[in-house]
Amino acid sequence: MKTYYECIPCFLNQTVRCLKDVKPQYREEIVRRVLHKIGDMDLATSPPEMVTEVFAIIQEYTGKIDYYAEAKKHSNEYILNMYDELSQIIYNSEDPFDTALRLAIAGNIIDFGAQHNFSDEMIHSKIDKVLVADGIDSAMLKDKIAKAENILYVGDNAGEIVFDKLFLEHLPVEKITYAVRGEAVLNDVLMEDAEEVGLTELLSVVSNGSALPGTVLKHCSEEFKEVFNKADLVISKGQGNYETMSGLDKHIIFLLMIKCPVLGRDIGREPGSFIVLDNKDIVK
């Protein structure tokens, strides 16, 4: 997905939110550098690529590599504390696959990029809504998974990874590889998050070798690209992965919650919608 002009205020808002950790004498300089970077950017570039360049500027002044480390740890711990409760919701439902899928999509609310005013209460609200939401084609995804021989599941955020684990427990994990980011960016999931929530004990986990809040193949490791190329089905979580992979010539099923009107317009659904979208059905 390209960057729309409406994305520009989000880049600036991300910058301003981070200025509290910067010495006052550097704040104006950072804003000017970010504005200059935005002014020179190619709008054909995806939003996650631009966000990464903005954060690179901020990191020069803060020295923080994992800016959202504490928030990610809280997210993992908070959802892990809900694990037994969520497991019971799944196992007691009429269709455990459908319910686990719905919860995995609801977990996409944990996003400190697009959803900067995220709170724990929002998780419970989205869980209630997703369990009764219309338009979630779980049967289509279940059929695609059954027919696939080699599946790549691309994760998105910390905390959300626990919801992914709950879903993956109802999938044929022997033919699935889960992907995390290679380096810290926003609250995106890393290998340490996969280890913390026990996902590495369930299935194979690979790093994509990149510090982008999405999946841009030219920035990924050779190991990840090999796994990606071998997969006959990719399950993609979250907005950043949609923004960076929706134009690829690859069979991808996108699972996400629409958190901004720009993405909603690109997909053709309203903000707040829960999405299970086959990229073969995307009309551009």
Each of the 284 residues of the chain gets a pLDDT tens digit; together they read 999 989 999 899 888 888 888 899 999 999 999 999 999 989 999 999 998 898 889 889 887 667 788 889 999 999 999 999 999 999 999 999 999 999 999 999 887 665 555 567 888 899 999 999 999 999 999 999 999 999 999 999 999 999 999 999 999 999 999 999 999 988 999 999 999 999 999 999 999 999 999 999 999 999 999 999 999 999 999 999 999 999 899 999 999 999 889 999 999 999 999 999 999 887 55
Instruction: List phi, psi (to 5°) of 137.
Output: -85, 75
pLDDT of the residue at 248:
93
Radius of gyration of the chain (CA): 18
Q: Which of 49, 114, 58, 144 is CA-nearest to residue 261?
A: 114
Q: Is 265 exposed, middle or buried (0-12, 13-18, 19+ CB in 10 A)?
A: middle
What is the rounded distance in angstroms from the CA atom of residue 11 to the CA atom of residue 61?
17
Instruction: List phi, psi (to 5°) of 158.
Output: -65, 155
SS3 68: coil
What is the rounded distance in angstroms from the CA atom of residue 30 to the CA atom of residue 113?
19
Sign of the alpha-carbon torsion through 115, 116, 120, 121 = negative
Q: State the pTM of this model.
A: 0.93
